[in-house]
Amino acid sequence: MLKMNYWTDKWDLHEDICPCDVHFNEWVADQGLKNKLIYHFGTGTHHVVGIEQARNGLGNSVVSITASIEEYQAYIKLVTENSGVARNYLAYFGDIYLTNGKLLPDFDIVTMVHLCEFFFPNTASAEYGGMTDRQVLDLFTDKTRPGGYLVFYKNSMGSDETGKILPVWEKEKPVERMADFKTLIVYRKK
């Protein structure tokens, strides 16, 4: 049996390293998005998206994935000490490339800010059974409600590869590009 691919590092909050989470929260507030179900790709040890959306009074709820043991342990500590955050923010540990769409609800907003960053050499092999980045994007596009948003990060470690995927995806899926927001690329599902 193969071990799951996981990230052996963690992302602490540093504006110069990963501002996408901060900019995402600012975008949600700027757009006045309320009572939305958000899927967030990559928690960071800071869990800034989950915390802010639980506390900002907009009524949004967040489901987020991390493939970092340290980030997941930080989540456990966070929600153990803060029931208000626990009520509106669920993080789970896993490899996004192994996602089973049957286990997910439909979302109003999906962040794909770390698309093309964590693909391992064996990810899409028959033995491991994972998806490609494009397949992950297609799955989460399908899990985004009509009128919902898909958000990407211009400066991600995988931005070159993401930049190759998006033009083809944009032609094949019912999405339209909206105005960018700071470091974010925003699409809306038709």
Using left for φ > 0, alpha for ψ between -120 and 50, and beta otherwise, residue 129 falls in: left
Q: Half-sphere exposure (CA, 13 Å, Cβ side) for 102? A: 0
Q: Both tokens of residue 39? A: 């899927």
Q: CA–CA distance from 115 to each of 41, 56, 75 (Å)?
A: 8, 26, 21
**What is the SS3 assignment for 179?**
coil
Does 11 score more than 70 pLDDT?
no
Q: How confident is the model at residue 12 (pLDDT cuts 50, 70, 90)?
A: low
Please report the pLDDT score of residue 2 as a whole number.
Answer: 78
Nearest Cα to 154, choosing from 178, 173, 181? 181
Alpha carbon distances (Å) from 150 to 72, 111, 187 = 24, 6, 5
- Asked whether the beta carbons of 130 and 95 are under 8 A apart, the reply is yes
DSSP 3-state assignment of 55? helix
Q: What is the pLDDT of residue 118?
A: 83
pLDDT attached to residue 164? 97
pLDDT at 16 over 70: no
Q: What is the pLDDT of residues 97-119, one digit of tens each?
A: 999 999 999 999 999 999 999 88
**pLDDT score recorded for residue 17:** 52
User: Can you give the residue ranges of every domain in the chain?
Assistant: 21-189
pLDDT score of 9:
63
What's the average model confidence in pLDDT over 5-33? 80
| This prediction's pTM | 0.93
> What pLDDT score does 72 carry?
95
Helical H runs in the chain?
20-31, 48-55, 69-81, 83-88, 133-142, 159-172
Task: Quote the CA–CA distance of 131 and 98 in Å, as a whole number.
Answer: 7
Q: How far apart are CA 89 and CA 171, in angstroms?
A: 33
Q: What is the pLDDT of residue 147?
A: 98
Given CATH 2.40.170.20, say whether it is the number of domain 21-189: no
pLDDT tens readout for residues 134-180: 999 999 999 999 999 999 999 999 999 999 999 999 999 999 999 99
> Does the structure show a pLDDT above 60 at 15?
no
> What confidence category does residue 8 fall into, taking pLDDT thresholds of 50, 70 and 90?
confident
pLDDT tens for 40-88 read 999 998 999 999 999 999 999 999 999 999 999 999 999 999 999 999 9
